[in-house]
């Protein structure tokens, strides 16, 4: 995974929007974002490593989704735009990229800057509950991803706004990173 601050130049969300300013895994950890690289191997040993992380974080279920033009059909463009709305969840979001690539953008709370995490096969990312983020495919326009869940998936996206800023999960997240 490569992480960097985004530029502020308008344009297709699937373009790199690279400001040229890298960010470190330590900086990501300081805002609660965790990353592992677990290479995909033909023998399937990667599954044991992913499940080890899942067990440590008390995740019990998972599924695999495919996001591309073929799987989404006529809804492809609207779905991609919808994923790109800034939002937060009341649960951790954990994703493991099996094939393809895409971007998870996370807000750095102190500066309000976007940090872009370009992920590809073998990257596993954990976003804490309450962090503002969004997702976009890159120009490959395809990704196959394992989603992990503590119990049953609760895919409620709380779009950014005054009400969401006051959400208890958001306020707890902000308190946690401000203490560090």
Instruction: Return the CATH number at 154.
Output: 2.60.120.10
Supply the pTM of this predicted model: 0.94
Count helices and strands in the chain by DSSP H and E runs: 6, 11
Phi, psi of 118 (to 5 degrees): -90, 110
pLDDT in tens, the chain (180 residues): 999 999 989 999 999 999 999 999 999 999 999 999 999 988 888 999 999 999 999 999 999 999 999 999 999 999 999 999 999 999 999 999 999 999 999 999 999 999 999 999 999 999 999 999 999 999 999 999 999 988 776 678 999 999 999 999 999 999 999 876
87 is in an annotated binding site: yes
37 is in an annotated binding site: no
Within a domain: 3: no
Tokens of 32: 């609660």
Other CB atoms within 10 A of residue 66 CB: 14
Q: In sequence order, which ranges of 57-96 are alpha helices (DSSP H)?
A: 69-72, 76-83
State how many domains the chain has.
1
35 is in an annotated binding site: no
DSSP label at 150?
Answer: S
Within a domain: 2: no
Within a domain: 57: yes
Q: Which domain holds residue 64?
A: 20-179
């Amino acid at each position: 995974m490569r992480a960097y601050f985004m530029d502020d130049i308008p344009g297709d969300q699937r373009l790199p929007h690279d400001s040229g300013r890298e960010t470190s895994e330590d900086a990501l950890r300081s805002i609660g974002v965790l990353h592992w690289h677990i290479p995909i191997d033909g023998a399937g040993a990667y599954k044991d490593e992913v499940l080890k992380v899942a067990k440590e974080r008390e995740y019990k279920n998972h599924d695999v989704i495919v996001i591309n033009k073929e799987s989404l059909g006529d809804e492809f463009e609207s779905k991609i735009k919808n994923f790109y709305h800034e939002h937060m969840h009341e649960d951790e979001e954990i994703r493991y990229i099996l094939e393809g690539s895409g971007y998870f953008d996370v807000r750095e709370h102190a500066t309000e800057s976007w940090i872009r995490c370009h992920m590809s096969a073998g990257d596993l990312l954990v976003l804490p509950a309450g962090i503002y983020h969004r997702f976009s495919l890159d120009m490959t326009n395809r990704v196959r991803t394992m989603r992990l869940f503590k119990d049953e998936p609760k895919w409620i996206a709380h779009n950014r706004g005054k009400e969401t800023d006051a959400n208890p999960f958001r306020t707890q997240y902000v308190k946690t990173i401000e203490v560090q």
